[in-house]
Amino acid sequence: MGALEAVILTIITASTPLLLAAIGELVTERSGVLNLGVEGMMIMGAVCGFATAYTSGSAMLGVAAGLLAGVVMSMLFAFLTQTLMTSQVATGLSLTLLGLGLSGLIGEAFTGLPGVKLTVLDIPFLSDIPFIGPILFGHDILVYASLAIPLGVAYVLFRTRLGLIITAVGGNHHSAHALGYNVIRVRYGCIAFGGACSGLAGAYLSLAYTPQWIENMSSGRGWIALALVVFSTWLPKRLMIGAYLFGTVWIMGLYVQALGVAIPAQLLSSLPYLVTIVALIIISGNKTLTKVNTPACIGQPFAPER
């Protein structure tokens, strides 16, 4: 395996969980809901995914359990913010704290145990092509999902009536309600989708990225995913670029460190964040694009009059 091939493969592995979590949050935010609990949903996905895969011996069951854990966490958030009308910011932060604590408790019994690694989907002939084979066709199912989901989301958002309704609910919930759409129900659905994607991202961490359970193994990726959604101005294709840009800078930093270049390690590890900030500043230059795509109702609770 050549050095370039290895670098590209690690970039893909580093970007996949970010992209998965971020695309879910993008849909949630498009419907006008700000869920700051991505980190908490992700870590719960990781621990439940690992525990299920370890107990059953099946990595695919682990993926399913991770997804389900994310959905359960997100439904807790949805019930609090949509039905009980609590503050989305406070509830999201508590969801993260809850997830980090609860995952430590569940995961205690699984610390240090050997994990079940998600297998690479072997595509006959294609996977065997040198260089291109492993890069394009040598991945597990979650890597393909992380690419397919954003494309699917882009299609739904911009080509279908469902996407129009989601954008409408996020853009002006009073108007959407006046036209007879069930704002709360649409938001429940979008929050669940966000939870599912975050759960998948967590499962990827504990079943593919490093197939074991380590406490706090999400290590801030949920927050990066949240930043990526803003970075993308709520556009799925930009989100894919953003996730891969972040993953690339991150991995490049690690390689530079490994090569022994005399740059302080702290500077290198902060590099992805610096690049994200610079990219955000550049993007915010185009105000019209940002304004048109920003869900106007984001973070605002909606209570229909009765």
**Smallest distance, other proteins to C-beta of residue 299, A:** 16
**Smallest distance, other proteins to C-beta of residue 169, A:** 9
Nearest by Cα to 70 from 58, 62, 60? 62
Rounded CA-CA distance 170/196 in Å is 20
- Residue among 3, 259, 285, 305 that touches other proteins (CB under 8 A): 305
Q: C-alpha 110: how far from its chain's center?
A: 24
Nearest by Cα to 31 from 242, 302, 303? 302
Between 267 and 296, whose beta carbon lies closer to other proteins? Answer: 296
Query: Contact between 89 and other proteins (CB under 8 A)?
Result: no
Query: Contact between 281 and other proteins (CB under 8 A)?
Result: no
Q: What single letter denotes the amino acid at residue 67?
A: L
Print the binding letters for residues 178-217 with other proteins: x by CB under 8 A, - otherwise: xxxx------------------------------------
Measured distance between the N- and C-terminal CA atoms of the chain, rounded to whole angstroms: 65
Query: Contact between 291 and other proteins (CB under 8 A)?
Result: yes
Between 93 and 184, whose beta carbon lies closer to other proteins? Answer: 184
Mark the segment that binds other proteins (CB under 8 A) among 6-14, 21-29, 71-79, 167-175: 167-175
Query: Contact between 293 and other proteins (CB under 8 A)?
Result: yes
Integer angstrom CA distances of residue 141 from 82, 118, 203, 277, 304: 33, 8, 12, 31, 41
Mapping DSSP onto H, E and C, the string for 250-261 reads HHHHHHHHHCCC
Kind and range of the H or E element at 138? none
Rounded CA-CA distance 237/125 in Å is 30
In contact, 236 and 153? CB cutoff 8 Å: yes
Rounded CA-CA distance 159/145 in Å is 20
In contact, 12 and 139? CB cutoff 8 Å: yes
Query: Contact between 161 and other proteins (CB under 8 A)?
Result: yes
Query: Contact between 130 and other proteins (CB under 8 A)?
Result: no
Query: Contact between 58 and other proteins (CB under 8 A)?
Result: no
Between 51 and 166, whose beta carbon lies closer to other proteins? Answer: 166
- Residue among 42, 53, 68, 168 that touches other proteins (CB under 8 A): 168
Mark the segment that binds other proteins (CB under 8 A) among 20-28, 129-137, 164-172, 225-233: 164-172
Q: Which residues would be at the binding site for other proteins (CB under 8 A)?
A: 161, 164-165, 167-168, 171-172, 174-181, 287-288, 291-293, 296, 305-306
